Amino acid sequence: MEANDAATQTTGSWNGGNEPLGASYGKMMMWFFIMSDALTFSGFLGAYGLMRFKFIDSWPIADQVFTHVPFIHGNYPMYYVAFMTFVLIFSSVTMVLAVDAGHHLKKAKVAFYMLLTIVGGLIFLGSQAWEWTHFISGENGAIQLQDGKIVQFVNADGHQVKLEDFAAAKSDERVQHSSSKGLWYVSEVALPPVSLEQVINGFKAHPDLQLRLEKIDSKTKEKVLVSHQDADKYLAEAKQVVIGANLHVNEYGKTLFGDFFFFITGFHGFHVFSGILINIIIFFNVIVGTYEKRGHYEMVEKVGLYWHFVDLVWVFVFTFFYLV
């Protein structure tokens, strides 16, 4: 009688052992982790959207910020980030092929596809490192006005011009203050290659140059240009030369744009990084035959879910940072 009870208990609705969602505990929890992580990312992207709507008529235009491809000079917006997107989608494909091979218990194939996935992740991470480096070191440079706004320099065709290309020759011989040259406990960061005075004098010597403001014309959806003769008003307000980007100021426009770029792509990159680490661990587990002994490759499926999620987030980051 007692044995009978025990038998009915394990099959009853409320006695445990059921899988109403048809998924193991681990897989289900991976799904709920992914959902909560998606909410985290949507919080960040939502905050980005809030600030962008707040400054809707002065936000940087992505095409004018991300214009470069490694090893090639010139103006090529979007191509590189499209390549990054494709790499990540492709690594998602190799991951799902690994999961599929796992269902057929083909150990060698799982290992091979896991390896390809790891390589894809590394290429993506390397690309992102390049993108960051380029974003931080800057390209053309700009000046910042007293009110914090950024003013860029463009030629008659509307193309941005590099500060060094028109700045006047050095007039003041100020050198970087290092501890060996002055007070031994005081030093400063490297001076920009051109001083504010050089830039302003150079601008006055080149009548073909114009200023490009942060403000966006509501009709043409382009940044407002200021002709050479009207530029004095802005140059009189100039505060400092800005080259590249950091968390306080960047040459592309709004400081918040740089901050969100660093934070959101950085947080995503950190996800990719941890995804690669987890993939490597699982890869070695596959190699040593842990899952073969276990009889199933569900662990590959679980890390696969995480990896696809990282891809999924990138699709949204791509749209909201580079396209829209």
Partner 1 sequence: MGHEHKLSIFRGFVTFKSNTQKIWGVLIFLSIITGVEVALGIIKPEVLTSNSFLYMKILNWIFIILTLVKAYYIAWDFMHLRDEKSGLRRSVVWTGLFLIAYLSFILLVEGNYIHDIYKEGFIKWEF
Q: Which is nearer to partner 1, 52 or 107 (CB)?
A: 52
- Shortest CB 317 distance to partner 1, Å: 10
Q: Which is nearer to partner 1, 92 or 285 (CB)?
A: 92
Enumerate binding residues for partner 1 (CB under 8 A): 20-23, 28, 31-32, 34-35, 38-39, 42-43, 46-47, 49-57, 63, 77-79, 82, 85-86, 89-90, 92-93, 95-97, 99-100, 103, 221, 296, 298, 301, 304-305, 308-309, 311-312, 315-316, 318-319, 322-324
Secondary structure of 292-307 as H, E, C letters: HHHCCCHHHHHHHHHH
Q: Which is nearer to partner 1, 163 or 272 (CB)?
A: 272
Q: Which is nearer to partner 1, 124 or 309 (CB)?
A: 309
- Shortest CB 163 distance to partner 1, Å: 27
- Shortest CB 109 distance to partner 1, Å: 10
- Shortest CB 196 distance to partner 1, Å: 24
Q: Report the distance separating Cα 88 and Cα 123, nearest Å.
A: 9
- Shortest CB 184 distance to partner 1, Å: 38
Q: Which is nearer to partner 1, 236 or 323 (CB)?
A: 323
- Shortest CB 304 distance to partner 1, Å: 8
Residue 304 burial by Cβ neighbours in a 10 Å radius (0-12, 13-18, 19+): buried
Q: What's the half-sphere exposure (Cβ side, CA atoms, 13 Å) at 53?
A: 6
Q: Which is nearer to partner 1, 181 or 296 (CB)?
A: 296
Inter-residue long-range contacts of 198-202, CB under 8 Å, 24+ positions, other chains counted: 198/167, 198/168, 198/169, 198/170, 198/171, 199/143, 199/163, 199/166, 199/167, 199/168, 199/238, 199/241, 200/235, 200/238, 201/167, 201/168, 201/171, 202/163, 202/166, 202/167, 202/168
